[in-house]
Structure 1
Amino acid sequence: MKLLVICQYYYPEPFRITDICESLVRKGHDVTVLTGLPNYPEGIVVKEYRKGKKRTELINGVKVIRNFEIGRGSGKYRLFMNYLSFTLSASFKTLLLKEKFDRILVYQLSPVTMSIPAIIYKKKYQTKILLYCLDLWPASLSAGGIRENSIVYKPFLKMSKWIYNSVDAIAVTSCMFKDYFKTTFEMDIDQIDYLPQYAEDVYLEVEENREHNRFHFVFAGNIGDMQSVETIIKAAHLLREYQEIVFHIIGDGSKLEECQLLSQALTLPNVIFYGRRPITEMPKFYSMADAMLITLKNNQVISYTLPGKVQSYMAARKPIIGAINGETSRVIKEANCGFCCPAEDEKELANMILKFCQSHEKEWMGENSYAYYTKHFRKENFLSSLESSIFKLGG
């Protein structure tokens, strides 16, 4: 099958879409990706992609077409320009594309407007679209502080409704996303497939390398406003007298410096920051972890999300301790793989960490975590379901 994939983000940016496309190529599909210029999460376009360089590439069998975009920077204005510039340039590119594809896959993160080039191509060639929704829009705007009655939110509400109703099928990463589509857009949720993310293969290679006289808790992933990593820092402050408890923060993002400054202000020797590390190094950090940490803001819309790190944590056979609401809390409890408390509750998070340290069921939690992963989140199952969703679109 000749497949056109549209996503604003692609390698060397750290998103699963790269692995998905390369896996589809290995399964015999012809895959072309329409994407932007690498600039996530730093916000600055990578040097070798500036000034019109490397606009087309062949990466592990995937044909990659790069479109102009303004680096996301650090402020809301630059982020808006980043979203707009990709949408416009990629839309123009689809008008010029002469190659015909059998299907279109939109890997929809933020912004939802990255789907517009797909709709333009569809109208040109009557090619059907599967939209894989990882970020809800315009809910992501309200989660970011934009009021639902604002002049910014309302146009995006109409645009999002148009986009979601213009594609031929939708798959979602969280069961709770279906509720949002039903209540916000009055869509038939029976036509929406549940397709949770998977963990990349590197997380299946983790070996145990833990100290017996200390407890190591690891957070790995984006450190932005939504992730509420400061909740971990505040919990570490409450546990500062327990010298055997150490927190490891791996990742980068818009809130990294703020979290580092908070840790310094609280003079916390039990918190270590590592910055962003390549995925090949992650097994080293996972191997030393007694448990993995996950946090999100206390926000109803955000609680619908099941972050991809949950699958990675489970694939690595790790217990999970979360200060998080909604879908992730449901999964942790259903899997019996750790403890969970309300989002942004640093006191209860600290209590759960102490409870975990005193528990005699750590190994059992880790095995439950992996068992749940193999049943619900295996890569082979994901690819099979994705292919099925694409094929059943019809001609």
Structure 2
Amino acid sequence: MRVLIVSQYFWPEGFRINELAESLVQRGIDVDVLTGKPNYPEGKIYEGYKARGCVRESWQGANIFRVPLFPRGFRSASRLALNYLSFILSAAIAGTWQLRRIKSDVIFVYAPSPLLQALPALLIGWFKRIPVVLYVQDLWPESLEATGYVRNRLAIRMVEWVVKLIYRRSDLILVSSLPFRGSIQRFSPSAEIVYYPNSVDASFCDPQSGLKPDVPALDEGFRVIFAGNVGAAQAVHVIVDAAQRLKEHRDIRLVVLGSGSELEWMRTQIQERELDNLFLAGRFPVQAMPNLLSRADALLVTLADRKIFAETVPNKIQAYMAVGRPIIASMNGEGARIVQEANAGIAVAAEDGAAMADAVLRLHAMSQADRDQLGENGKRYYRQNFDHEQLVDDLVGHLTKMMKVKK
């Protein structure tokens, strides 16, 4: 079987699709990847690449076809729109040309924002007469409205029309969160939808195997770690609020590992509020994350108080469970439900700084044995529901089935 992966984001950008592609190759599957020039999350093209021109390279046995795109920039809605549109056009035109002699059997679309990146995949699938499997990580246009990037109702309606086309033309839709079903069925009632949760690389189950960077903020105290994108969707102001409320507890440290559009705002708040308990440690390669997360006494995941985010399960929940540390989930809906069902930590309402601070204090007051038990509960739930190898086998089954159905 030969699989064509279409994703705007791919290695060296740190997305789940990297591990999926690598595992497919390890199973003897030929993998081609149509993607853009890496520029996430800083918004600048990575060193060694140029925004213009097509590039062909390989990584871990996968063949990568890169098309030009406009870098996303920093906190600019117009540049982000150009980034999305440039990939769609480049992938549809240059990508189709690059792949003209590749005899793929099935297309797999990894679709975080923007969902519109499925359009060139549908075009290529039509040309090659092969099935398109869409893996939905983020709901559109709901996420556009929730993050505030698009407010014009006409523009939202146009996006809705395109999203409806994508759902109806896809041969199979995989969803990373169960509540996504209802939103997708609203646009395409007859779509075949299958729940397919995210996982993480096996290295997260063995935190001592990867890179072990020196991070002074993690050397002492009760360490609460937030890892990942620092943006509007994460409502990181709630972390600042909680840090303010916890200032008198001198041994409690809130440590942010990552970068994003709200990082400079957080840095300003630390200075203005004199928050010596909140540390911005920066962004680290994914190979370092298992070890860094394992140094935490508690791991923090946040999402804004929006309906769309209540239906979302951030991939970091699986990472946190695999590492085996207690979780504080400052969110509503499905992600909070999973943490509670696993008995892997404490879930509080989204954007409630007082509740978050209280959850930190509750974990701080627990014995080490009780915190370890929460971590073990999470690891057990991960093995039962999110095991990487089992989910890759399931994906191969879905792709094989659609290939045979199309034939």
TM-score (norm 1): 0.95
Deviations 1:97-135 (A, max 9, x none): 232210000001111111111111121121101101101
Pairwise CA distance, 1:94: 4.2
* CA distance in structure 1 between the partners assigned to 2:96 and 2:200 by the alignment: 35
SS of the residue corresponding to residue 105 of structure 1 reads strand
CA distance in 2 between counterparts of 1:263 and 1:10 reads: 33
In structure 2, the partner of 1:252 is 259
CA drift at 1:58? 1.2
Contact 2:6-2:109 within 8 A present in 1 as well: yes
Question: Are residue 379 (structure 1) and residue 391 (structure 2) matched?
Answer: no
* Structure 1 residues 324-363: aligned runs within 5 Å: 324-360=331-367, 361-363=370-372
1:56-84 residue CA offsets vs partner (Å, 9 max, x unmatched): 00111110000010000120000000001
Matched, 1:367 2:376: yes
1:187 maps to which residue? 189
1:161 corresponds, among 146, 159, 164, to 164
> 1-side partners of 2:344 and 2:190: how far apart?
33
Residue 127 of structure 1: SS of its match in structure 2? coil
Q: Aligned residue for 1:80?
A: 81
Name the SS for the 1:24 alignment partner: helix
1:285-300 matches, within 5 Å, as: 285-300=292-307
For residue 49 of structure 1, give the secondary structure of its aligned residue in structure 2. Answer: coil
- The gaps in structure 2 that reach 5 residues or longer are none
Whether the 8 Å CA contact 1:146–1:152 is kept in 2: the answer is no
| Residue of 135, 143, 146 corresponding to 1:143 | 146
Equivalent-residue separation in structure 1 for 2:280 and 2:220 (angstroms): 21
Residue identity opposite 2:387 in structure 1: R
Letter of the 2:323 partner, please give it. Answer: A
Q: For the Cα contact (< 8 Å) 1:94–1:120, is it kept in 2?
A: no
Q: Does 1:269 align with 2:276?
A: yes
CA distance in 2, matches of 1:36, 1:267: 41
SS in 2 for 1:47: coil
Specify the SS of the correspondent of 2:299: strand
1:1-395 alignment runs, 5 A limit: 1-50=1-50, 52=52, 55-74=55-74, 75-96=76-97, 97-145=100-148, 150-182=153-185, 184-188=186-190, 191-206=192-207, 214-360=221-367, 361-393=370-402, 394=405, 395=407
Q: TM-score, normalised by structure 2?
A: 0.93
Cα drift, residue 277 of structure 1: 0.6
Query: Structure 1 stretches (4+) deviating beyond 6 angstroms?
Result: 209-213
Partners of 1:82 and 1:129 lie apart in 2 by 23
Q: What letter is aligned with 1:363?
A: D
SS in 2 for 1:218: strand
For the 8 Å contact 2:53–2:67, the answer to whether it is kept is no
- Report the 3-state secondary structure (helix = DSSP H, G, I; strand = E; otherwise coil) of the residue aligned with 2:373: helix
Q: Secondary structure at the match of 1:151?
A: helix
Output the aligned Cα RMSD: 2.0
Distance (whole Å) between structure 2 residues aligned to residue 85 and residue 155 of structure 1: 18
Q: Kindly tell me: are residues 43 and 211 of structure 1, through their superposed partners in 2, closer, same or farther at Cα, counting changes over 3 Å?
A: closer
The number of equivalent residue pairs is 393
Mapped partners of 2:359, 2:22: distance in 1: 40
Shift of 1:389: 1.0
The question of whether the paired residues in 1 share the 8 Å contact of 2:67 and 2:95 is answered with no
Q: Distance in 1 between matches of 2:287 and 2:150?
A: 40
Cα distance in 2 between the residues matched to 1:249 and 1:355: 20
Query: Cα offset for 1:93?
Result: 2.6
CA distances 1:333-366 after superposition (whole Å, capped 9, x unpaired): 1001111111000011111111111124211111
Q: CA deviation at 1:150?
A: 0.9
